[in-house]
Amino acid sequence: LHLFICSSGFEYKPPTYKEHDFSEAPKFTHPLVSRSVIAGYNATLSCSVRGIPKPKVTWYKNKMDISNEAKYRMFSRQGVLTLEIRKPCSFDGGVYMCKAVNTSGEDAVECKLEIRRKYP
């Protein structure tokens, strides 16, 4: 920091510039949409999120984290998040939530998934 003394005796401090913070809390730009699917056929749920830094995404079914369950596959491509439910059965119906978190905040969206029985 440099101090300059003007001839008038006043101290002059050059302005300080704060680094611009480009971070942005997660925000879902497309929500999850509730749907009804037929048992036995793979189903997908999709939504879109943005945020800087890139948010960490976690999927939940009925408020339980399903990240490590083999029945589900999660994809993330350019902010589009997809949950694939492999060969759903009646037990897979419920409320699904996608939560995105980064250092600036968090956001979440949810939907209901209904599983219909296959009729012979």
The tens digit of pLDDT for each residue in 52-69 reads 999 999 999 999 999 999
* pLDDT per position as a tens digit, 59-104: 999 999 999 999 999 999 999 999 999 999 999 999 999 999 999 9
- From start to end of 1-120, where are the E strands? 4-5, 11-12, 24-30, 35-38, 43-52, 56-61, 64-65, 72-77, 80-85, 94-102, 105-116
Number of domains in the chain: 1
- Is the Cβ–Cβ distance between 84 and 73 less than 8 Å? yes
CATH at 87 = 2.60.40.10
Look up the domain containing 65 and give its range.
21-116
For residue 37, tell me if it sits in a domain: yes
Residue 14 lies in a domain: no
Q: Positive or negative CA dihedral for 63, 25, 102, 68?
A: positive
